[in-house]
Amino acid sequence: MSTHQAEDLATFMEGVQRRNPGEPEFHQAVHEVAMDIIPYISDKPIYKDLKILERMTEPDRIISFRVVWQDDSGDIRVNRGYRVQQNNAIGPYKGGIRFHPTVTQSVLKFLAFEQVFKNSLTGLPMGGGKGGADFNPKGKSDLEVMRFCQAFMTELAKHIGPDTDVPAGDIGVGAREVGYMFGQYKRLENRFEGVLTGKALEFGGSLIRTEATGYGAVYMMQDMLTHHGESIDGKVCVVSGSGNVATYCAEKLLQLGAKVVTLSDSSGFVYDEEGFTHEKLQWVMDLKNKRRGRIEEYAHEFGAKYHEGEEPWGVPCDLAFPCATQNEIDGEEAKLLINNGCRGISEGANMPTTPEAIKVIQDFPALLHAPSKAANAGGVGVSGLEMSQNSLRLSWTREEVDERLRAIIRGIHDQCVEFGTTSEGHVDYFRGANIAGFNKVASAMLAYGVM
Ligand SMILES: NC(=O)C1=CN([C@@H]2O[C@H](COP(=O)(O)OP(=O)(O)OC[C@H]3O[C@@H](n4cnc5c(N)ncnc54)[C@H](OP(=O)(O)O)[C@@H]3O)[C@@H](O)[C@H]2O)C=CC1
Ligand SMILES: O=C(O)CCC(=O)C(=O)O
């Protein structure tokens, strides 16, 4: 980056920080994109003159609302819900809903901003949005979760629709929560339409949507390795998380002949030196999705080691798949991974590496590193396919959806190579994903004129 570009970046970021005080996650996500886009547009005055990046960083609107519900003991509870409608230049707003006590406007703005670029990369007509609430589903009964979801949807329904904004799941929002929200939308609007994705198969869901994010993160790794003359077969893999993304990431790794040795939750991680099997993984899915237990129980059941309060990045591995949450790999952990022999990271979670970690990894170009907006786009990609199936009123087969998912990820990999290959022949997957994601949205915004 030239001195002039570095000054432009600093000025741009000062504006973002001034307009969005106290939103560190949002600043981080914008900075990660601006580092690549500001040099890219430095010789393209139309983008600068028409303030395309400034406009992209300002959400179209943010809806924030009260969610009131009654717990099982009859007490009234109050939470705050949000929907950030970031940008609909290339299609209806699209992105998940997160229920977690750490949800703030800053977290949802970073996720919505990332979603715009990710959705653009899929090649499907989807804009970007994200929503959620500071509600903690952990420890709540099914009926409490149902009452919360119904109260949340009672307000959200006024702002969404199959051609306006189509939410889906994210942390704390899986099949159960999507079912409750879809049911409430249907009741309120008296319309059966594809207003949410990630629905169960019985009422308009798509095959492979549940698996898609985890599978996609592995397909992305497969494409990076193939491009560099290697394969997944036989690689030792460290996976964090034990939710939707982590478990299906592990499943696809096993199918492709890798050895998965860790899974985690917010309390700690389990290290199974012999490796997970399909049966063990099924046990974890049952533990997490039905019994709603803790990963520690796996260690007691299968005799693996449990590391309380720790993350798995110190475990020697060939490949790492952060699939839990944002900023889960910091600079020191990135160094640890590299020193222990890790040669590939595919980000299943959104923004799981801190800026310090990215810097450490960039200084070690032999490590292949796919950013979340590319690596986890399989989830929203299959959500886009669910929208298509809902509009067509038909269901594609498992093979058909998987083939389309495979093609979406291959397309994303190719775009990263096209826009991210440096003069030394190294592929900077972050740069490639940022520029390719930006181009399509920016072109659409230019076509619409000043708005
Ligand atoms: N679901 C999807 O289709 C998509 C998800 N993503 C991203 O993937 C990541 C995981 O989502 P998903 O699997 O759906 O969510 P789940 O709720 O199914 O699972 C989340 C997992 O991450 C752990 N976790 C959550 N927060 C923290 C934290 N603060 N510290 C440590 N561990 C944590 C959870 O542990 P615990 O149970 O203890 O909280 C759980 O194991 C998120 O970053 C999400 O945005 C990205 C694209 C699509
Ligand atoms: O499937 C979707 O619409 C959203 C998935 C999501 O939230 C994400 O990609 O982070």
CATH at residue 344 = 3.40.50.720
Same domain, 99 and 222: no
| Residue identifier of the C-alpha nearest atom 6 of ligand 2 | 96
Structural domain ending residue among the three candidates 344, 370, 396? 370
Q: Indicate whether residue 350 lines ligand 1 (CB < 6 A).
A: yes
Q: DSSP per residue over 178-201, as a string?
A: HHHHHHHHHHHH------SSS--G
Counting every residue written for the chain, the total comes to 451
Dmax (CA) of the chain: 65
115 and 235: one domain?
Answer: no
pLDDT category of residue 84 using cuts at 50, 70 and 90? very high
Q: Are residues 157 and 243 in the same domain?
A: no
Residue 246: band (very low, low, confident or very high) from pLDDT cuts 50, 70, 90: very high
- What ipTM goes with this model? 0.99
φ, ψ for residue 353, nearest 5 deg: -105, 135
**Mean pLDDT score of the chain, rounded to an integer?**
97
Q: Does residue 84 form part of some domain?
A: yes
The per-residue pLDDT for 359 is 97
- Span from the CA of 361 to the centroid of ligand 2 (angstroms): 26
Q: Is residue 333 part of a domain?
A: yes
pLDDT digits (tens, 9 = 90+) for 206-241: 999 999 999 999 999 999 999 999 999 999 999 999
Q: Is residue 385 part of a domain?
A: no
* 179 and 217 share one domain: no
- Annotation: binding site for substrate: 94, 115, 118, 169, 383
Q: How far apart are the first and last CA of the chain?
A: 30
> Measured from the CB, is residue 119 less than 6 Å from ligand 1?
no
CB 69 within 8 A of CB 77: yes
Domain limit, last residue, from 191, 224, 239: 191
Distances (CA, A) of 246 to 28, 45, 256, 359: 24, 42, 15, 25
- Dump pLDDT digits (tens) for 115-156: 999 999 999 999 999 999 999 999 999 999 999 999 999 999
Assess if residue 34 is contained within a domain.
Answer: no
The closest residue, in CA terms, to atom 4 on ligand 1 is 170
Q: How confident is the model at residue 191 (pLDDT cuts 50, 70, 90)?
A: very high
> Which domain range does residue 325 map to?
210-370
Same domain, 293 and 168: no
At 443, is the pLDDT very low, low, confident or very high (cuts 50, 70, 90)? very high
CATH for 157:
3.40.50.10860
Residues 173 and 225 both lie in one domain: no
- Residue of the CA atom closest to atom 35 of ligand 1: 265
Same domain, 239 and 175: no
CA neighbor of 53 nearest in space, from 11, 3, 84, 93: 11
Residues with catalytic function: 130
380 lines ligand 2 (CB under 6 A): yes
pLDDT band at 100 (very low <50, low <70, confident <90, very high): very high
375-401 pLDDT per residue, tens: 999 999 999 999 999 999 999 999 999
Determine, yes or no, domain membership for 53.
no
Which residue is closest in CA terms to ligand 1's atom 28?
266
Distance 346 CA to ligand 2 centre (A): 16
**Which letter does DSSP use for residue 132 in this model?**
E
Residues 6+ apart with CB under 8 A from 126: 90, 91, 92, 94, 119, 166, 380, 383, 384, 387
Nearest to 442 by CA among 33, 38, 90: 90
Q: Decide if 1 is inside a domain.
A: no
Q: Give the whole-number percent of the chain exceeding pLDDT 90.
A: 100
Cross-strand bridge partners of residue 315: none
Cα separation of 302 and 262, whole Å? 13
Q: What is the DSSP string of 401-426?
A: HHHHHHHHHHHHHHHHHHHHB-TTS-
φ and ψ at residue 238, rounded to 5 degrees: -105, 125
> How much distance in Å is there from the Cα of 111 to the middle of ligand 2?
9
Residue 324 has a pLDDT of 98
Question: Are 81 and 158 in the same domain?
Answer: yes
Residues annotated in a binding site for NAD(+):
213, 244
pLDDT at 168: 98
Phi, psi of 268 (to 5 degrees): 165, -175
How many C-beta atoms lie closer than 10 Å to residue 398's C-beta? Answer: 12
Same structural domain for residues 142 and 171? yes
**Is residue 103 domain-shared with residue 158, that is, in the same domain?**
yes
pLDDT score recorded for residue 292: 93
Residue nearest (by alpha carbon) to ligand 1 atom 11: 171
Name the β-bridge partners of 76.
70
Domain end (from 158, 191, 224): 191
In a domain, 23, yes or no: no
pLDDT at residue 388, as a whole number: 98
Residues 287 and 223 in one domain: yes
Q: Tell whether pTM > 0.90.
A: yes
Query: Which is the closest atom of ligand 2 to the Cα of 126?
Result: 3
The pLDDT score that the predictor gives to residue 400 is: 98
Q: Which residues are annotated as a binding site?
A: 94, 115, 118, 169, 213, 244, 383
- Cβ proximity of 181 and 107 under 8 Å: no
Q: Which atom of ligand 2 is nearest to the CA of 382?
A: 1
Residues 214 and 358 in one domain: yes
Distance 449 CA to ligand 2 centre (A): 28
Number of compact structural domains in the chain: 2
Question: Closest ligand to 250 CA?
Answer: 1
In a domain, 444, yes or no: no
Atom of ligand 2 nearest to the CA of 98: 7
The mean pLDDT value for 15-42 works out to 98
